[in-house]
Amino acid sequence: MSPYAGGGEPTVGAGNASARDTPVRGRASALALLLGADAAVQFGSAAAALLIPEVGVWGVLVLRLTVSAALLLAICRPALRGHATGDWVVAGLLGLTLCAWNSCFYLAIERMPLGPTVTLELLGPLTLTLLGSRRATDPLWALLALAGVFLLSKDGFDGLAPAGVAFALCAAGLWACYIQLSVRTGARFRRLDGLAVAMAVAAAASVPVGLAFGRVTFPEPGDIGLVVAVAVLSSVVPTASELIALRTLPPVVFSVLMSLAPPAAALAGLLVLDQALTHLQWLAMVLVVLACGGALLTPAPARRAR
């Protein structure tokens, strides 16, 4: 059985237009989920920026994952029975990957600008596209997206710290692992049960990591609402949306769509902060949008009749 919702790709020559339209509607819904998740992350980042001076970068990580885990466990109430040992192993690995991925990302942005960090990080999902492609056009969309993201942040690549680059590349590899483990977790657990378990593991792992790398302090009572906002917008909404989307989209398509994040951030800067974009940056966003549209709309290869 396929790990994706619906049991895999549609049979070629399905009986009616409604059946043929189902994959298109499913992909459109998945795209809407990912766009909503990206918008949530932007607002979550803004809330985190307000919280960092109070509790530190690592405090934000620990609080974000802990509150996210508490909310997901309370909402999902995952069943503890009826799962094989392998199910718990996969969910646990997803949690550890979440913690390690976020930790490497924070360590990278402490050492170099956000733009090149995100660009290097995107090498993970885009490499996944290149390695897992079954369509001749997938490498084209991945390279087009990477070119766009590179143009968007190319001014920040001068004089990068080697340690920052190393952490960003580690984050890239962990992002690719996260995508694959999300697919497997979604296939083994109902609803968001697996994600709730994974987030609990991530929260538990973040405490020693946060204490090892920096200060972790409790927020003031007036900042509790901000902590909840960061957890919901930066963790709960994006991870839940991505897990649901990966039940519809193959990982290779999902990976290309992840390159929408940097252009979305640049566009938010234009609309909210009045940060002007150059002609080159506009071209970069067009390339990314074309790549994502191509990856989303290119039909899957037809199965050979036996």
**Positive/negative CA dihedral, 102, 295, 120, 156:** negative
Question: What Cα–Cα distance (Å) separates residue 51 from each residue in 59, 82, 105, 279?
Answer: 9, 40, 18, 34
**Positive/negative CA dihedral, 98, 100, 103, 104:** negative
Q: Side chain identity at 107, as an amino acid letter? A: L
pLDDT at residue 178 is higher than 80: yes
pLDDT at 187: 87
DSSP class of residue 234 equals I
114-121 and 85-109 helices, crossing angle to 10°: 150
Q: How far, in whole angstroms, is CA 17 from its chain's centroid?
A: 33
Per the CB < 8 A criterion, the answer to whether 268 and 42 are in contact is: yes
Gyration radius (Cα) of the chain, Å: 20
DSSP class of residue 247 equals T
pLDDT at 243: 82
Residues 6+ apart with CB under 8 A from 12: 302, 303
Average pLDDT over residues 168-188: 89
pLDDT at 271: 67
Span 214-266, pLDDT tens digits? 766 777 777 788 888 888 888 888 888 888 887 777 776 776 677 666 666 66
pLDDT at 181: 92
Q: Which helix (H) or strand (E) holds 184?
A: helix 162-188
Q: Specify the residue for token string 């984050």.
A: 171
pLDDT at 21: 46
Residue 91 or residue 137, greater confidence:
91
Confidence band, pLDDT 50/70/90 cuts, at residue 1: very low
Average pLDDT over residues 170-188: 90
pLDDT at residue 83 is higher than 80: yes
The model's pTM is: 0.72
Span 62-75, pLDDT tens digits? 888 998 999 889 98
Domain boundary assignment for the chain: 30-297
DSSP class of residue 81 equals S
Query: Both tokens of residue 272?
Result: 């909210």
pLDDT at 205: 94
pLDDT at residue 305 is higher than 70: no
pLDDT at residue 283 is higher than 90: no
Residue 93 or residue 222, greater confidence:
93
Query: Both tokens of residue 108?
Result: 């990278």
Q: Identify which of 151, 145, 108, 107 has the alpha carbon closest to the alpha carbon of residue 254.
A: 145
Range from 9-18, 155-164, 283-292 carrying the lowest mean pLDDT: 9-18
Residue 258 or residue 37, greater confidence:
37
Q: Identify which of 35, 42, 39, 118 has the alpha carbon closest to the alpha carbon of residue 296.
A: 35
Residue 192 or residue 113, greater confidence:
192
Taking CA 250 as the corner, what is the angle to CA 41 and CA 281, rounded to the nearest 5 degrees?
45
Span 3-14, pLDDT tens digits? 333 333 333 333
Q: Identify which of 87, 102, 101 has the alpha carbon closest to the alpha carbon of residue 45.
A: 102
Residue 304 or residue 300, greater confidence:
300
